Amino acid sequence: MNSSNCGERLTNNSTGHDEEDWQEVLPRRSRKPAREQRRENFEQFILLLVGIPGSGKSTFANKLESGNSSKFVSINQDKLKTRKKCLNVCLRALQEGKVPVIDRCNFDQDQRQYFLDIALNANIPVDCIVFDYTKEECLRRCIERIGHPNINKQNARGVISLMTKNFEVPLHNETYRNLTTVTSYEEADNVALKYYRKELSFF
């Protein structure tokens, strides 16, 4: 398996936070269809998700996009297949005035630098969220989820072991505006809600 091609599509049964629960805590404005959502005034940025497979990145990204698709665009490499396509969709989202949410493992500085360079050229900030869960928890979720295009019960253990071995924790000197680490599903939900409500200190 190509280790750079690692987003994830998670089932929600193992998280305790299904889509209906999420929609109940969203602002009602965000539940409207995209065509009815009023375009907000906001500073553009790139939201870079980092974590090994099974850590909840796709769940997080999908919640942002489904809650407010006029603002957030989930860019998932499992669906797009190549990094080049992810980069192109990221550029297109910025041209459309949206916030790209980069849903891939981004497991080392070299993988992250492609998107940092886009932000530098566009003169916009990058926020990084690190999904820091145990190897065992991520493996359990990979085994339990259904329909993932790249990871299944047979190869999950090997993929998780490889990604864990090669994983490099993001550092502030990679020029992030904000670097956040989440260690539970509740923390991840709270961070996502703050992006909706613009409660983070850097907005």
C-alpha 151/C-alpha 1 separation (Å) is 9
Report phi then psi at 120, rounded to 5. -60, -45
Query: How many Cα atoms within 13 Å fall on the side-chain side of residue 149?
Result: 11
Domain count, the chain: 1
Q: Which residues does 170 contact at the CB level (< 8 Å), separation at least 6?
A: 50, 109, 112, 128, 130, 176, 179
81-92 pLDDT per residue, tens:
999 999 999 999
Q: Write down the mean pLDDT value for the chain.
A: 82
Residue 135 lies in a domain: yes
Using only C-alpha atoms, what is the Rg of the chain? 16
Residue 31 has pLDDT above 60, yes or no: no
- Of the candidates 60, 64, 77, the residue with the CA atom closest to the CA atom of residue 133: 60
Full-model pTM? 0.79
pLDDT band at 39 (very low <50, low <70, confident <90, very high): low
93-137 pLDDT per residue, tens:
999 999 999 999 999 999 999 999 999 999 999 999 999 999 999
pLDDT band at 155 (very low <50, low <70, confident <90, very high): confident
Residue 9 lies in a domain: no
Residue 72 has pLDDT above 60, yes or no: yes
C-alpha 67/C-alpha 16 separation (Å) is 18
Residue 3 has pLDDT above 50, yes or no: no
Residue 144 has pLDDT above 90, yes or no: no
Report the number of secondary-structure helices (H) and strands (E) in the chain: 8, 5
C-alpha 122/C-alpha 91 separation (Å) is 9
Top pLDDT among 138 and 198 is at 138
176-187 pLDDT per residue, tens:
999 999 999 899
Q: What is the pLDDT of residue 16?
A: 41
Domain residues for the domain of 147 are 42-197
Residue 25 lies in a domain: no
CATH number reported for the structural domain that contains residue 155 in this entry: 3.40.50.300
Residue 38 has pLDDT above 80, yes or no: no
Residue 23 lies in a domain: no
Residue 5 lies in a domain: no
Residue 17 lies in a domain: no
pLDDT band at 35 (very low <50, low <70, confident <90, very high): very low
Residue 57 lies in a domain: yes
Identify the H or E element spanning 192. helix 185-197
160-176 pLDDT per residue, tens:
999 999 999 999 889 99
DSSP annotation string for 92-156: HHHHTT-EEEEES---SHHHHHHHHHHHHHHT--EEEEEE---HHHHHHHHHH----SS--TTTH
**Contact call for residues 103 and 77 (beta carbons, < 8 A):** yes
Task: Determine what percent of the chain is predicted with pLDDT higher than 90.
Answer: 61
Residue 83 lies in a domain: yes
